Amino acid sequence: MARGSGVVARSFSNIALAAACLSLVAQAHVKWFTNFDNAKPPQPISEVLTKTFIGFFIASVVLNFVFFLGDRYAYKKGIFVEIDERFRKFDAFSIHIMRGAAALFFISLFAFYQFTGVSFFLTPELKTDSPFVPWLHLALGLCALSRYTAPLVGIGILGLYTASIQKYGLYHLIDYLIFLGIAYFMIVTPIQKGGWRKSGFIVLYALMGLTLLWASVEKWGYPQWTYPLLERDPSLLMGLKPYPYMVLAGFVEFNVIFLLLGAASIVTRAIALVLQAVFVLAIFKFGLIDAVGHLMIIAILVVLIVRGPTDARNILVLREKSIWMEAYFMTGLYYLAFVTVFLLYYGLHYLYYGV
């Protein structure tokens, strides 16, 4: 047991160190604080695949292999499994967390409009002049307070998401798949029969993960969007040059999210805790806009800490195989996920904008 605990501790220390390298600006959504143009093509792939990029990729593959050796060892040896299982019973409490966060989120949007005169559909750069939207926010915030009206929140989010697509385009809204997950969660979790409630957690976790994986590729495709922020506050670079900093930020974010989605042991909760701390610390640096914009992500991470992953995570566990084979399997999945998300980011941009 002591040896297993040491492996887990070393694996987790790697994740904690990586998360520490992920500076605050890497988690602040750059589109909320600087000028950008989605219609312009991302950097050519030939310019992204530099020696620095390839070096970080190789290091990330090694990190994944070592991490999943420790994670699967902890899982198969049952380290802290009783604590993990005990927390998995907090479905109802987790739903209260999400409803409370949604209420605070939408009421905050309404209050933000009252004090600043600025209104946005779902996130700060999705601005709207519609006088109806702030009042819809208020209504959705109030509906989130009751499980009987929570499905209306999901329907309202779908409406706001659709309106955002009409104004800002489908490709832009891929940035915010998380809101589709929240909408589905709000609609189905009041249903206590069947597997609807479980599916709500699965979709919520999956779309949060996809949203953050997508954002990591943005740091490689459009590093120039972040450079003005780094120029205004060079301390954010932690001594690095802007280019390698952005490459590192993208890799750390992608890896932390993949490990969060793929871990089978109690380490999942620890990673969620570290990631949540990064988001919370970013609020102190970037203020109210960041607090409101990331509120729902923070809430989902709280749910991951409190409730943990669903049983659907077990589909990634090869129970009859050795931990070495499991580590190879998960590292292969990392490679597949990395290539898939990267190519989708570039491919869908080309299909949508034609450039």
Return d(Cα 278, Cα 25) in angstroms, integer: 10
Q: What is the pLDDT of residue 28?
A: 55
pLDDT in tens, 315-344: 888 888 899 999 999 999 999 999 999 999
Q: Tell me, what's the pLDDT at 23? A: 44
Both tokens assigned to 276: 């949540």
- Residue with more model confidence, 236 or 219: 219
Distance of CA 154 to the CA centre of its chain: 19
- Are residues 320 and 287 in contact, defined by beta-carbon separation less than 8 angstroms? no
Q: What local confidence, expressed as pLDDT, does residue 130 receive?
A: 92
Domain hosting residue 177, numbered range: 2-353
- Cα–chain center distance at 203: 13
**Could you give the angle at which helices 2-21 and 267-286 cross, rounded to 10 degrees?**
20
What is the tens place of the pLDDT at every residue in 160-199? 999 999 999 999 999 999 999 999 999 999 998 878 989 9
pTM for this model (two decimals): 0.89
User: In total, how many domains does the chain have?
Assistant: 1
> pLDDT confidence of 21, banded at 50, 70, 90?
very low
Q: Are 140 and 157 in contact (CB under 8 A)?
A: yes
**Residue 206 reports pLDDT greater than 80:** yes
- H/E element, 56: helix 51-76
- State yes or no: pLDDT of 148 exceeds 80: yes
Q: How many CB atoms lie within 10 A of CB 284?
A: 10
CA 37 to chain centre: 22
Instruction: State the pLDDT confidence band at 283, using cuts at 50, 70 and 90.
Output: confident
